[in-house]
Chain A
Amino acid sequence: MGNVKSGQIVLEGSEQGFATTRFDALLNWARKYSLFQYPFVTACCGMEFMSLNGPRFDGLARFGAEAPRFTPRQADLLWVVGTIVQRQAPVLKRVYEQMCDPKYVIAFGTCASCGGFYDNYTTVPGIDKIIPVDVYIPGCPPRPEAVIDGLMLLMDKIASGRRETPAIVKPHNDPVGDRLVTLGKGSPRELEIGPQSRTRDDRPNTPAHAFLPKKAAT
């Protein structure tokens, strides 16, 4: 019996050379590593989507979700990247309806999730007004790290087979909580970084940039 635990299947008996599992668990396991995406890219978030595909983050190929299919009939993951306006809404609905089941939808960015600060006559306040959404990725635009997080949330959902409630990418640490600790005098956080928190103007003059090629760092 396949044991579904936090998105990973532990296959019983795999150390003996064979394994048994439930068929749908096996199917879901296979499905989550072979997503075929349809990028519905409209706006600013597309720039971060390019970065996500780029060499530094490589955020799709690593998860088996790289191959784009520009016909919805061959895709099972719909990325809605950017603002959807009322004029675009019928197109989005039609693309979604043409996809074959099982189909998954990721709302990339704040505009796709809730309309963002475009609260006006032309913008759809979130694509969930038109099509169901599996994962929301907030951010304007979200950083590629957040998108990778969202993709992993979707993979968890596929593996577990539970899709009733949508998932939302959230910060791992509470940034406000962090800062509150530094305010107290003599707190462990304060001792750790010194009496003054480092502000912009007294930052040390060390570039220390990991991503630049050696030749450039003269």
Chain B
Amino acid sequence: MSQLLLDKLKARFGERILETSSFRGDEVAVVAPTDWLDVAQFLRDDPACDMSMFIDITVVDYPEREARFDLVLMLYSLHKGHRVRLKTRLADGATVKTVTPLWAAANWFEREVYDMFGVKFEGHPDLRRILMYEEFEGHPLRKDYAADRTQPLVPYRPEAKDKLAPFRADEGMPFGRRDWSPRDDAWKTDDIAHNEEHLAEAIANDPAETR
């Protein structure tokens, strides 16, 4: 059913549709970043496509690739009942045109993509952080942002620093997991380093450990 949609896209745009695929009933079309808005506009306005509803926009990060971000736009036709996923590949720092004029709902979600991944949208009316605070540096959902790297807004109480963390970072994580976070430990805040000293001391002094 939705395969017709991909055929229609190919008939209209030809070579500008870089790839199409269909997996488990989900149809995907990949375009270049420059064609992003054109294809989205066609999907909304063409009566046979009629993608009246914006479902979601998000990013999948592949840090080993040159164009590391897969920007994914999901659309739905309320009247026809079909869905399509539109994809484009972006390098770090590249921008893409916003789809907010087409679907008002995209506004907050493009802000979220900017907040979480640092992908910028040209022509977005109000591109600022949405989930994190303004003081936050970096983009937390990138694979190379360490998951436990905090940036506290209020300094921690000195009394709390003596408490040992129950687990060290990455303890209890599954085998075979790919760890993307940088391991230089330069980002570590004082209290974590402090805790680790304590932990090493506690292990050294533990009679059960020396036995």
Which residues of A line the B interface, CB within 8 A?
86-87, 89-90, 93, 114, 119-122, 124-126, 128-132
Q: Is the CB of A89 within 8 A of B153?
A: yes
Q: Which residues of B contact A132 (CB under 8 A)?
A: 157, 159
Partner of A121, one of B145, B154, B160, B163: B145
Contact A121–B150 (Cβ < 8 Å): yes
Task: Answer whether A86 and B157 are a contact pair too, CB < 8 Å, given A119-B148, A121-B140, A125-B165.
Answer: no
- In this assembly, does B152 line the interface, its C-beta being within 8 Å of a C-beta of chain A? yes
Assuming the contacts A87-B133, A126-B160, asked whether A121 and B151 have C-beta atoms less than 8 A apart, the reply is: yes
* Dominant secondary structure at the A interface: loop
Query: Measured between C-beta atoms, what is the minimum distance from B158 to chain A in Å?
Result: 10
Picked from B147, B154, B169, the residue with its CB within 8 Å of the CB of A89 is B154
Contact B156 A86 (CB under 8 A): no
**CB-CB under 8 A for A120 and B152, given A86-B133, A126-B160, A132-B157:** no
Residues of B within 8 A of A (CB): 132-133, 140, 145-154, 156-157, 159-160, 163, 165-167, 169
The B interface is mostly helix, strand or loop, or mixed, namely loop
Contacts of A129 in B (CB 8 A): 152, 156-157, 160
Closest to A89 in B: B154
A89 CA to B157 CA in the complex, in Å? Answer: 12
* Chain B residues whose C-beta falls within 8 Å of the C-beta of A120 in the assembled complex: 147-148, 150
Report B-chain residues with C-beta under 8 Å of the C-beta of A93: 154
* Listed residue (A90, A121, A125, A128) with the most chain B CB atoms within 10 angstroms of its CB: A121
Chain A contacts for B167, CB-based, 8 A = 119
Contact of A86 among B151, B160, B165 (CB under 8 A): B151
Docked-complex contact A121 and B148, CB < 8 angstroms: yes
Interface pair A130/B156, CB less than 8 Å apart: yes
Q: List 23 A-B contacts (CB under 8 A).
A: A86-B133, A86-B151, A86-B153, A87-B153, A89-B153, A89-B154, A90-B153, A120-B147, A120-B148, A120-B150, A121-B145, A121-B146, A121-B150, A121-B151, A122-B150, A124-B152, A128-B159, A128-B160, A129-B156, A129-B157, A129-B160, A130-B156, A132-B157
